[in-house]
């Protein structure tokens, strides 16, 4: 037992420090963009590690109950987010707990993965959700469109899914690759 504690300190503390450092770095980058402190034509790069540190710190502030262990993976022009979601806690925290039947069907945590393709240019972006996976069951196509239209949009009307929206702070476009997201400011 005596050798376990130093090993734990040697492994865990650098990870915690690294997550705090990544969060501080990504927050500084967001601040520079949001405060319009960058020159036109600038590029700001975000790594998956930075974005995951940001998600881990910020998602609990936005969604205090019902979502744990958020994770982001980048692809070529796409992003996949995953988390453990307790739909009953999530809906209850929003002030509208589900009825008895939905509570029975949705109780407990469920692994949820959402994959979206992001296209951008000329100061606009479009996010197209390609699939949602809940408990290993994939939802796509018409069923996914139905869920977005009847569940997501009524509860989150500011979410723009499948329609272009304007990028703020002079952002011209985003380039998403497996190793990074580059944010390009207009000239």
| pLDDT number for residue 124 | 96
Dihedral sign from CA coordinates of 60, 80, 45, 69: positive
Could you tell me the pTM of the whole model? 0.84
> Shortest CA distance to 78 belongs to which of 114, 121, 49?
114
Lookup: tokens for 65: 């109950």
Whole-Å CA distances, 150 to 143, 147, 157, 175: 10, 5, 11, 30
- pLDDT per residue as tens digits for the range 137-163: 999 999 999 988 888 888 788 889 999
Query: Is residue 131 a contact partner of residue 79, using CB atoms and an 8 Å limit?
Result: no
- pLDDT per residue as tens digits for the range 81-136: 999 999 888 888 878 788 888 788 788 999 999 999 999 999 999 999 999 999 99
């Amino acid at each position: 037992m005596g050798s376990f504690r130093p090993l734990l300190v040697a492994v865990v503390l650098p990870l915690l420090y690294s997550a705090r450092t990544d969060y501080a770095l990504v927050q500084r980058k967001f601040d520079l963009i949001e405060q319009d402190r960058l020159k036109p034509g600038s590029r700001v790069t975000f790594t998956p590690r930075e974005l995951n540190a940001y998600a881990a710190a910020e998602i609990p502030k936005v969604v205090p109950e019902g979502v744990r262990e958020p994770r982001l993976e980048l692809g070529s022009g796409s992003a996949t987010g995953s988390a453990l979601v307790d739909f009953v806690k999530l809906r209850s925290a929003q002030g509208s707990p589900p009825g008895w039947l939905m509570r029975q069907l949705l109780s407990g945590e469920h692994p949820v993965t959402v994959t979206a393709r992001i296209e951008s240019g000329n100061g606009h972006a479009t996010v197209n959700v390609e699939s949602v996976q809940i408990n290993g069951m994939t939802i796509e196509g018409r069923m996914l469109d139905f869920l977005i239209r009847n569940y997501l949009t009524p509860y989150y009307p500011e979410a723009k899914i499948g329609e272009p929206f304007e990028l703020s702070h002079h952002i011209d476009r985003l380039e998403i690759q497996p190793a990074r997201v580059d944010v390009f400011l207009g000239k």
